[in-house]
Amino acid sequence: MSRSFDEIEIEGKRLLHVREFRKIQAYFQLNEDDFIIQHNHYFDTSDFQLKEQNAALRIRYKNGAHVLTLKVRNEAGVLEKHQPLGPREWSEGAPLTQLSEGGSVQTYLEKEWKIPFHTLHPLGRLTTRRAELPYEQGLLVLDESHYFEEIDYELEYEGNSQEHVQGVLTQVAVRVGLDPHSPEPQPKIQRFFSVAKGRI
């Protein structure tokens, strides 16, 4: 099993209408084979303590493996604490207590935020159809996400500074013919939380 690791993501996003999504897809000549499917399973306490910390906890299934990730927004960007899981360590719909004791994410939550691991419950699944391509010394990401009865479309860019990120997003918008002044949307997980809260 791979080791746990941390990383900081500096990113910016734009919500899209489906026609804008198609324009970007056509501009960058992305076809169906360029997209992969990711399944994200989100967890929080019944009173949404992680959401109050501006954080999100997910298990993502990608490329045949599950990874537990805690995402925390801070001034530098988004801190991501990744904990790869063994092939039989977790199955869809199972509680987090099924995981091996003492993982890096569990330790952080219980020591830093005093959130017991057993109080975290599954909220639901978000499935994303995603294309990624290197672009202007960063990574351009085009997402189509499905959660509950919602579908949303999003352009994301990961770069080396907020100035770099916003500059590239504006450049892409101008080249494709979109509004270059479109505001930064709520993070995807916050949109997911908003729908999930109405179902609990």
- Please tell me whether residue 163 adopts helix, strand or coil conformation: helix
Residue 81: partners with Cβ closer than 8 Å, 6 or more residues away = 4, 6, 69, 70, 72, 104, 105, 108
Query: Per residue in 86-144, pLDDT tens?
Result: 888 998 888 898 898 889 999 999 999 999 999 999 999 999 999 999 999 999 999 99
Cβ contact 130:36 at 8 Å: yes
Please report the DSSP string for 11-37 in residue order: EEEEEE-HHHHHHHHHHTT--GGGEEE
Q: Which residue has the higher pLDDT, 196 or 106?
A: 106
Domains along the chain? 5-197 (2.40.320.10)
Query: Per residue in 36-93, pLDDT tens?
Result: 999 999 999 999 999 999 899 999 988 788 999 999 988 878 999 999 998 889 988 8
Cβ contact 40:127 at 8 Å: yes
Give the pair of three-digit tokens for residue 56.
């999100």
Q: How far is CA 148 from CA 46, 129, 192, 194, 197, in A?
A: 18, 15, 9, 11, 12
